[in-house]
């Protein structure tokens, strides 16, 4: 039944699995799917970090390469992504060793965003990320006049 429920009603399956855990009813656990879901949770956290870094990097590129168009909307997006990344790292400190790899992977998404939204060509941007992760997450990386923490 648990396997079938996993495939037909995921939410109900999660509730049954949680109840079995609470009641120490180990024989009711759907271990293969439970293990798969726990591993997927970790992958989702890494994906969340890459997604947010990609958006942040895209907006940092826009900020740097189209400085004449800077505005509060871009600033708000940069601040929001930084805040969410820092929160994600506080809640998941074991992601910190993954930051360098995530930054390199996320840069490609950020580059796509910058090209799509600026109209500039790929050739006008660096091939690899021009920012360290410290610079990416530092408020001072943008013009101090706009920085109103």
The per-residue pLDDT for 138 is 83
Q: What is the pLDDT of residue 147?
A: 43
At residue 149, the pLDDT reads 37
- Residues lower than pLDDT 70 in the chain: 1-3, 139-149
Cα–Cα distance measured from residue 63 to residue 123, given in angstroms and rounded to the nearest whole number: 17
Per-residue pLDDT, 57:
97
Q: What is the pLDDT of residue 26?
A: 92
**Cα distance between residue 86 and residue 137, in whole Å:** 8
Q: What is the pLDDT of residue 137?
A: 85
The pTM assigned to this predicted structure is 0.80
User: Shortest CA distance to 65 belongs to which of 140, 119, 25, 106?
Assistant: 119
CB 46 within 8 A of CB 96: no
92-101 burial, b at 16+ Cβ within 10 Å, e below that, comes to eeebeebbee
Half-sphere exposure of 14 (CA within 13 A, CB side): 5
């Amino acid at each position: 039944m648990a396997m079938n429920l996993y495939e037909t009603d995921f939410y109900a399956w999660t509730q049954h699995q949680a109840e079995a855990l609470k009641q120490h009813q180990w024989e009711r656990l759907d271990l293969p799917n439970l293990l798969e879901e726990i591993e997927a949770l970790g992958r989702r956290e890494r994906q969340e970090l890459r997604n947010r870094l990609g958006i942040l990097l895209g907006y940092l590129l826009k900020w740097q390469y189209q400085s004449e168009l800077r505005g509060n909307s871009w600033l708000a997006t940069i601040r929001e992504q930084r805040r969410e990344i820092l929160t994600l790292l506080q809640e998941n400190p074991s992601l910190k060793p993954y930051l360098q790899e995530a930054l390199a992977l996320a840069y490609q998404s950020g580059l796509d965003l910058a090209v799509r939204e600026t109209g500039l060509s790929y050739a006008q941007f660096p091939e690899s990320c021009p920012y360290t992760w410290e610079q990416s997450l530092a408020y001072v990386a943008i013009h101090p006049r706009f920085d109103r923490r």
